Amino acid sequence: MKYNFYAGPAILPREVIEESARAILNFNNMGLSLIEISHRSKEFIAVMDEAVELTKDLLGAGSEYEVLFLGGGASLQFAMAPMNLLDDNQSAAYTDTGTWASKAIKDSKLYGKVDVIASSKDKNYSYIPKGYEVDPKYRYLHITTNNTIFGTQYKKLPESGGVPLVADMSSDIFSREFDIDRFDLIYAGAQKNMGPAGATLVIVRKSALGKVSRQLPAMMNYSNHIEAGSMYNTPPVFAVYTSMLTLRWIKQKGGVGAMQKLNEAKAGLLYDEIDRNPMFYTPTASDDRSDMNVCFLMNDKELEGAFLAKCKEAGCVGLEGHRSVGGFRASLYNAMSEEGIRVLTDVMRDFERSHG
């Protein structure tokens, strides 16, 4: 038994892994594998339709939104979002809250005027900037709701005075409730909290499209993908199917609100131990601590290797921190059980007893 704390690709519900493994061998009793049937077969179209409907249902997205499953990862959306939403003579506001946000900013500058209106770079992205004004001239405000590498998360959506939000939600989509009406666009790579790598979820407000004057390559145009029901080209069928199974699982567990309660309780257990245990600390500002990715360090860096070895012995894997932060990162996505976190906090307490 392993407790999988990897940041991404990441833990999925065991039932989902088992069912998708069965579908690789024999999908829907067709005598064929899921990955050897046409994406235009009625069996696969049913999968895509269910994935779209579950997304809308779980997030409360009405008919003004379209849901797409595309290739290219969240990273392609760094360019695709401004290409489709921001004209050359318009400006957009971005917040710089980490590595992924910085990459989104870099690409957006190719397609319009971009102002970084708030940043937490001054303190190695250990907090979420607050107290800034958003000028109504901006076409949108782009945020990264959860900063996977630095372990910070917007606990409240920023005030934007009516300026629509665009968000990279790769590492916290379906982990908690939020007001979808504030958004013109949401995107998320599947491989953090939803499925295997290869699919990217895009939720876009229909009325936000078709307003830029530039020519768009066919594959970069959301409208083409909408018209084709995410089948303008061959979609990543296995990633879409497995994501759909995860969405079914979330719904069966009570939906996003139920996930949120569990996630808050799970993260609370780990942060409480980090705060209590004199051997560990977290660099993350207390108001902005992510429920998905918990970054923590040791006061005595020399002991980090020994601690990781103890974690591995207990079955806890994937805890190495990102190289830009160091220390440890425990990713506690929806599929991580409370038991996994109790095993980890037990190792932390044992380590305090033997080395403290």
Ligand X SMILES: *Cc1c(COP(=O)(O)O)cnc(C)c1O
Query: Which residues are catalytic, by number?
Result: 100, 168, 192
Instruction: For the segment 261-280, give every residue that binds ligand X (CB under 6 A).
Output: none
CA-based nearest residue to 303, from 240, 347, 246:
347
Cα-Cα-Cα-Cα dihedral sign, residues 25, 31, 32, 34: negative
* Only segment of 67-75, 82-90, 275-283, 324-332 that touches ligand X (CB under 6 A): 67-75
Q: Find the shortest distance in angstroms from Cβ 101 to ligand X.
A: 8
Binding mask 190-229 for ligand X (x = CB under 6 A): --x-------------------------------------
Binding of residue 8 to ligand X (CB under 6 A): yes
User: Toward ligand X, which CB reaches closer, 219 or 343?
Assistant: 219
Closest-CA residue to 12 (of 258, 247, 261, 253): 247
What does the alpha-carbon distance between residue 209 and residue 179 come to, in Å, rounded to a whole number?
Answer: 20
Q: CB under 8 Å to 103, separation ≥6 — which residues?
A: 75, 78
What angle do the packed helices 338-355 and 304-313 form, to 10 degrees?
130
| Sequence-distant (≥ 6) Cβ neighbours of residue 226 within 8 angstroms | 66, 68, 204, 206, 209
102 near ligand X, rule: CB under 6 A: no
39-47, 70-78, 229-237, 279-287 -> range binding ligand X (CB under 6 A): 70-78
Note whether 242 binds ligand X by CB under 6 A.
Answer: no
Q: Is 74 in the site for ligand X (CB under 6 A)?
A: yes
> Out of 160, 171, 175, 193, which residue is the one contacting ligand X (CB under 6 A)?
171
- Nearest distance from C-beta of residue 210 to ligand X, angstroms: 26
Tell whether residue 170 is a contact of ligand X (CB under 6 A): yes
d(C-alpha 145, C-alpha 171), whole Å: 8
Q: Please say which residue, 148 or 345, places its beta carbon nearer to ligand X.
A: 148
7 vs 347 by CB, closer to ligand X:
7
Q: Is 144 near ligand X (CB under 6 A)?
A: yes
Q: Using CB under 6 A, pick the residue from 13, 129, 189, 340 that binds ligand X.
A: 189
Considering the complex, state which of residue 61 and residue 143 has its C-beta at the smaller distance from ligand X: 143
- Minimum distance of ligand X from residue 171's CB (angstroms): 4
Q: Is 100 among the residues that bind ligand X (CB under 6 A)?
A: yes
Residues interacting with ligand X, by CB under 6 A?
A: 8, 73-75, 100, 144, 148, 168, 170-171, 189, 192
